[in-house]
C-alpha cells in the first residue's frame, strides 16, 4: 500500500512520461509535490522501486520507467488550498486558570479585552498518536474571540513535527472547533480505535480514511473509516516566543 505522496509522485511521473516521452527531473518532481528538498524525492523513488512500481535504468539520465500503477488509492482529488494558520504572536492573554464548574459555559465568559476562556485538554501528538482526550480537564486558556466562529471550541498543545509544512510547530496551541464532520483536506483531531488521538489532514479514500501528515519524513496512515472518529477541526493556533 502506498502513501499519498508516493502515489502522487507515481502518477506525476506516469503523466510526464506519457506527455513528453521522458521522465521528469528531480527539480520538476520536487516542485510538483511541493517539497522543500530533492532528498525527499530520492526517498520516495527508492520506496517506489522497492515496492515494484518504478524501475530506474542505471547509467542513463532521467531514466525512470513506471512498471505499474497503484490500485490502492484513488487518483488525487482536486487541489485543496493549504491551511494558512492564523497565528497570534507575543503576549496574548495565556494564563492558565483553575477549571470552571461543569455547568458554566465558556462562550458566556468573555474577558474585558475581547478574549474567551476555552478548556485546554493538554498535548496532542502531531507525530505519533497519544492517549485519547478525557472529558475532564485541569486547565483553561484565554483566546482572542475574533479567532472563533459559532460552535463549541477547545484548545490543545501540539507535540511533534509531522505538521510543520502546514505551519504547525511543536509547542503551538491549536484551537479546535468541536464536531464530527469535516471536509476533505481540512486538518482535524482524529480519534483512532477509541483510544488514540492525533492531529492530521483528512483525506477520504472510498471506504478508507487517510490521516495525512504535513512533513515528508512521516508516513500517511490509511485506516478503515469505522476506526476513525472526527473530534473537531482546526480553526486557529497560538504561538508564544
pLDDT in tens, 68-82: 876 544 444 434 445
Instruction: State the pLDDT at residue 200.
Output: 94
* Structure confidence at residue 93 (pLDDT): 42
Alpha helix positions (H), the chain: 4-20, 26-32, 38-50
Whether the per-residue pLDDT at 208 is higher than 70: the answer is yes
pTM reported for the whole predicted model: 0.54
The per-residue pLDDT for range 87-136, each reduced to its tens digit, is: 544 444 443 333 343 333 334 444 444 788 888 887 887 665 555 455 44
Domains of the chain: 4-66 (1.10.10.10), 87-238 (2.10.109.10)
Query: Higher pLDDT residue, 59 or 24?
Result: 24
Give residue-wise pLDDT tens across range 144-194.
888 887 888 888 989 888 999 899 999 999 999 999 999 999 999 998 888
Q: How far apart are CA 118 and CA 142, in angstroms?
A: 6
Asked about 58 being catalytic, the answer comes back as no
pLDDT at residue number 1? 62
Q: Which residue has the higher pLDDT, 58 or 124?
A: 124
State yes or no: pLDDT of 44 exceeds 50.
yes
Of the candidates 4, 23, 200, 221, the residue annotated as catalytic is 200
Determine the Cα–Cα distance for residues 111 and 78; give it in Å rounded to an integer.
42
The C-alpha angle 111, 113, 115, rounded to 5 degrees, equals 50
User: What integer is the mean pLDDT of 48-58?
Assistant: 82
Active site residue 200: yes
8-state DSSP, 94: -
- Measured CA distances, 199 to 43, 86, 189 (Å): 24, 17, 5
Q: Using 50, 70 and 90 to split pLDDT, how confident is the model at 224?
A: very high
> Rounded CA gap, 131 and 108, in Å?
30
- Dihedral of alpha carbons 12, 199, 187, 174, sign: negative
pLDDT digits (tens, 9 = 90+) for 185-196: 999 999 888 878
Please report the pLDDT score of residue 71 as a whole number: 54
Q: Are strands 115-125 and 153-159 parallel, antiparallel or unpaired?
A: parallel
Supply the pLDDT for residue 169: 92
Q: Determine which one of 105, 162, 208, 229 is catalytic.
A: 162
Mean pLDDT of all residues belonging to the chain: 77
**Phi–psi pair at 216, nearest 5 degrees:** -65, -20
Amino acid at each position: 500500500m502506498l502513501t499519498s505522496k508516493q502515489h502522487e509522485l507515481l502518477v506525476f511521473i506516469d503523466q510526464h512520461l506519457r506527455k513528453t516521452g521522458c521522465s521528469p527531473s528531480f527539480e520538476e518532481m520536487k516542485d510538483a509535490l511541493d517539497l522543500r528538498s530533492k532528498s525527499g524525492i530520492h526517498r520516495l523513488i527508492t520506496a517506489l522501486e522497492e515496492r515494484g512500481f518504478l524501475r530506474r535504468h542505471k547509467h542513463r539520465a532521467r531514466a525512470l520507467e513506471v512498471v505499474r500503477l497503484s490500485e490502492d488509492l484513488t487518483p488525487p482529488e482536486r487541489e485543496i488550498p493549504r491551511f494558512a494558520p492564523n497565528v497570534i504572536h507575543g503576549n496574548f492573554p495565556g494564563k492558565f486558570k483553575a477549571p470552571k464548574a461543569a455547568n458554566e459555559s465558556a462562550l458566556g465568559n468573555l474577558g474585558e479585552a475581547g478574549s474567551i476562556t476555552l478548556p485546554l485538554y493538554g498535548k496532542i501528538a502531531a507525530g505519533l498518536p497519544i492517549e485519547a482526550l478525557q472529558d475532564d480537564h485541569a486547565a483553561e486558556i484565554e483566546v482572542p474571540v475574533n479567532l472563533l466562529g459559532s460552535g463549541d471550541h477547545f484548545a490543545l498543545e501540539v507535540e511533534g513535527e509531522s505538521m510543520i509544512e502546514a505551519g504547525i510547530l511543536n509547542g503551538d496551541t491549536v484551537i479546535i472547533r468541536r464536531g464530527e464532520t469535516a471536509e476533505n483536506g481540512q486538518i482535524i483531531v482524529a480519534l483512532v480505535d477509541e483510544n488514540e488521538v492525533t492531529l492530521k489532514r483528512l483525506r477520504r479514500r472510498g471506504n478508507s480514511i487517510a490521516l495525512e501528515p504535513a512533513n515528508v519524513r512521516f508516513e500517511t496512515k490509511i485506516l478503515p473509516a469505522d476506526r476513525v472518529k472526527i473530534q473537531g477541526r482546526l480553526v486557529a493556533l497560538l504561538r508564544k516566543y
